[in-house]
Amino acid sequence: MNQVTATGLRLRLLVSGRRYSAAHYVSRGVLYGTLTFLSVIFLIPLFWMVTSALKPQPQLFVWPPVWIPTPPQWQNFGEALTLFPFGMYIANTLYISIPAVAGTVLSSSFTAYGFSRIDWPGRDKVFTIVLSTLMLPFAVTMIPLYLVWRNIGLIGIETPLRGFGPLILPMFLGGGAFNIFLCRQFFMTIPQELSEAARMDGCSELRIYWQIILPLARPVLATISLFTFLGTWNDFLGPLIYLNSIEQFTVSIGLRQFQFEHGGRYDYMMAASTLTTLPIIALFFFAQRTFIQGITLTGIKA
Amino acid sequence: MIMSRVQRQKLKWGLVFISPWLAGFIILTLYPMGASLYYSFTDYDVLRPPVWVGVQNYTVFLTQDNLAFTAISNTLFYAVFSVPLGIVVAVALALLLNARVKGLAVFRSIFFIPSIVPVVASAVLWVWLFSTRNGLINLGLQAVGLPKVAWLSDPAWTKPALIIMSLWSVGGSVVIYLAGLQDIPQPLYEAAMIDGANTWQQITRITLPLLTPQIFFQLVLGLIGAFQVFVQAFILGAIGGGALGMGSEAGPANSLLFYSLYLYLNAFRFFRMGYASAMAWLLFLITLALTLVVLRSSRQWVHYGGA
């Protein structure tokens, strides 16, 4: 009886589906129309950034607006680069981000191993402390931290690590609660038998971590590396507090400095913004899957 | 407590492995928390040692500082509009993308990319888009016969400008919602169709309720983020020129003086470290209270689908 009703319903659905097929095409058309319209809206700012960077100055300020600059002023980039020491800013940013990524990956995975692969008394209670630090705004620790780094003598370009210490060293001390959490989640899905077997063979915990767990954790480590790199590229408040000479500036804070000095030259401003944005967009096309998976995995926007 | 040899071994190795975090926790979290709590009860300008003043910083901030009131109301205004609007826009985009669209990856990338544009670059770009005389947005308004808006120099429009800018970078949430939508079991929709539910009913009765865990998570993160918004104000505010004095970033008539910005200016421009520390602790308390309220309310509206 049930079988019959279900089949009948399915049949009716099929028929009704066919009867509404004209409406179906209309609704599909509306859907694609809306999506295309919204896509254009989302793309226009970026498009405007690039075309503005390529415009001869008068074309920036005319009505109707010029969409494609004629002729494109590629030399705007060259001229902007003489005022905007992008190479130096990139070098500084990499000076911070490479050790920061290494430190974060190593120390968050090392710590997470202790919170997932070894069963010691009190482990989970301590882990709730790790998680609770996520709630703490940076503002609470910002002032004493600044004073600590200053008193140790790690602020200023003439200090060890060229004054980048405050932005690099913390990454080696745990690598951030959120990254520890991500690694731990991943490590817990690796069967415990793998570790047991290795221990039977006389493998030390350090070797299990380094030779068995880390290689398996490559996907989550890639995610963490990517987001740590983005974090240092985008970070503004940290460099603003800790870096005090232009020779130390990162890309983000250098761009702000450029705006401060040449804010009226929109062609140069947009050229500099394009240069700052381009590496990130290139990285997106290069590592698209890691991006999307990372965001879904972490539930956090970049 | 007596532990077996094996247990002691485990404890030893556990502590070895968490030692980097433990050191960081003590040096980078615990000590600074204690220190800033102490500073918050002092008058401290870095040059001279802190002087104990009791709860004065807190009472002055909460009852006598006009800029504190400005900073709190600006921040609330921004949070109240940008967070819910961001959720609505992101969920709507995710719903559109979830309608079995061809070229999904392309559309998703288009919505996502603005969210990874470095925040300073994006702020600088929007300064140009919002330019009163020649900005693209005003050119657009002009084209449809609307009057120009002094986005960054009229105190009434600076925060709406910032909110519009924040909507441009909702792409990260779109990806999260889309993943949530794709987890909703298909048979639910089939059953609803058999019962004669139309698309709208399916969205309001099935899709949205089952998306509430993600919405809840984004709401909490969004509120915390809104209370700490800083860079955008710092860049956009510098354009309109602030009333706070030389080199201020607070926007026209302090209309972009957000909580975190005011805290930063107090600490690193006016060197009122004690006052800024008190502000930081109040921010922490506000964030905690807000999270608890949302968490409490979530029992009424968040549905955790269980197997």
How many independent structural domains does chain B possess?
2
Average pLDDT, chain A: 87
User: How far is the CA of A169 from the CAs of A103, A164, A301, B28, in angstroms?
Assistant: 8, 9, 25, 10
- Give the pLDDT confidence score for residue B196 in this predicted structure: 87
One domain, residues B31 and B160: no
**Residue B307: pLDDT over 50:** no
Question: Which chain B residues are within 8 Å of A251, Cβ to Cβ?
Answer: 118
Q: Indicate the residue of A113, A140, A172 with minimum beta-carbon distance to B17.
A: A113
Band (pLDDT 50/70/90 cuts) for residue B63 is: very high
Partners of residue B287 in chain A, C-beta under 8 Å: 135, 137
pLDDT band at B153, cuts 50/70/90? confident
Q: Which two tokens stand for residue A289?
A: 């899957």
β-sheet bridge partners, residue B43 = B51
Residue A302 predicted with pLDDT over 50:
no
pLDDT digits (tens, 9 = 90+) for A50-108: 999 998 888 888 777 888 888 888 888 888 888 889 999 999 999 999 999 999 999 99
Which residues 63-122 in chain A show a CB within 8 A of chain B? 63-65, 107, 110-111, 113-115, 118-121
pLDDT(B25) > 90: yes
Q: What is the mean pLDDT of residues A244-251?
A: 92
CB of A255 less than 8 A from some CB of B: yes
Confidence grade of residue B233 (pLDDT, cut at 50, 70, 90): confident
Say whether both B132 and B16 belong to one domain.
no
Backbone conformation region of residue A62, classed left if phi is above 0, alpha if psi is from -120 to 50, else beta: beta
Contact A284 B291 (CB under 8 A): no
In this prediction, residue A1 has a pLDDT band, given cuts at 50, 70 and 90, of: very low
Residue B3: closest C-alpha in chain A: A121
Residues B114 and B166 occupy one common structural domain: yes
The answer to whether the CB of B151 falls within 8 A of the CB of B158 is yes
Is the torsion defined by CA of B81, B82, B88, B89 positive or negative? positive
- What range defines the domain where residue B10 resides? 5-39
Q: How far apart are CA A47 and CA B128, in angstroms?
A: 13
Q: Does residue A132 belong to the interface with chain B, where contact is any CB pair within 8 Å? A: no
Give the pLDDT band of residue A259 (cuts 50, 70, 90): confident
Compute the residue count for chain B: 307
Reported as a pLDDT band with limits 50, 70 and 90, residue A22 is confident
Is 80 exceeded by the pLDDT of residue A299? no
- Token pair, residue A22, equals 């004209």
pLDDT at residue number A292: 81
Write A209-218 long-range contacts (CB < 8 A, 24+): A209/A109, A209/A110, A209/A113, A209/A117, A209/B17, A213/A109, A213/A113, A213/A117, A213/A187, A214/A109, A216/A190, A217/A109, A217/A183, A217/A186, A217/A187, A217/A190
Indicate the residue of B11, B134, B231 with minimum beta-carbon distance to A120: B11
Least confident residue range of A5-19, A255-269, B141-155, B221-235: A5-19
Q: What is the mean pLDDT of residues B8-32?
A: 94
At A83, list the tokens: 């005022």
User: Residue A149, exposed/middle/buried by CB under 10 A (0-12, 13-18, 19+)?
Assistant: buried
* Per-residue confidence band for B239, with pLDDT thresholds at 50, 70 and 90: low
- Tally DSSP H helices, then E strands, for chain A: 17, 0
Check if the beta carbon of residue B267 is closer than 8 Å to that of residue B273: yes
Radius of gyration of chain B (CA): 24
Burial class (CB in 10 A: 0-12, 13-18, 19+), B237: buried
Beta pairing partners, A219: none
Quote the pLDDT of residue A19: 55
pLDDT tens-digit map of A118-160:
999 999 999 999 999 988 999 999 999 999 999 999 998 888 8
Whichever domain contains B149, its CATH number is: 1.10.3720.10
Average pLDDT over residues B231-245: 69
Query: Which chain A residues are closer than 8 Å to B283 by Cβ?
Result: 137, 139-140
The CATH architecture one would assign to domain A80-298 is Orthogonal Bundle (1.10)
In this complex, is the C-beta atom of A123 within 8 Å of any C-beta atom belonging to chain B?
yes
Predicted pLDDT of residue B236? 84
Please indicate, yes or no, whether residues B81 and B227 belong to a single structural domain of this protein.
yes
Which of A44, A273, A280 has the CB atom closest to B124's CB atom? A273
Q: Are residues B86 and B152 in the same domain?
A: yes
Minimum mean pLDDT range among A162-171, B84-93, B139-148: B139-148
Check whether residue B24 and residue B172 sit in a common domain: no
Are B90 and B127 part of one and the same domain?
yes
B227 within a domain of the structure (yes/no)? yes
* Residue (of B123, B106, B81, B240) closest to A45 by Cα position: B123
Confidence bin at A13 (pLDDT 50/70/90):
low
Q: Position B297: which residue type?
A: S
Residue of B nearest to A299 (CA): B176
Whether residue A133 lies within 8 A of chain B, CB to CB, comes out as: yes
Minimal CA separation from B27 to chain A, in Å: 9
Q: Which of B109, B121, B268 sits opposite A277 (nearest CB)?
A: B121
Q: Please judge whether B268 and A241 are an interchain contact, meaning their C-beta atoms are less than 8 angstroms apart.
A: yes
Distance CA B168, CA A47 (A): 14
Residue A14's pLDDT is what?
Answer: 55
Q: What is the pLDDT of residue A184?
A: 92
Mean per-residue pLDDT of chain B: 89
Mean pLDDT score, B92-101: 90
Q: How far apart are the CA of B300 and the nearest CA of chain A, in angstroms?
A: 22
CB contact under 8 A, B11 and A121: yes
Query: Within a domain: residue B211?
Result: yes
SS3 B277: helix
Mean predicted confidence (pLDDT) in A151-173: 91
The pLDDT value recorded for residue A301 is 47
Same domain (yes/no): B89, B225 = yes
**Domain for residue B15, yes or no?**
yes
Tell me how far apart the alpha carbons of residues A184 and A280 are, in angstroms, rounded to a whole number.
Answer: 28
Residue written as tokens 């800024």?
B276
Q: Summarize the confidence of residues B53-77 as an average pLDDT.
A: 94
Please answer yes or no on whether B280 and A119 come within 8 Å at the CB atom. no
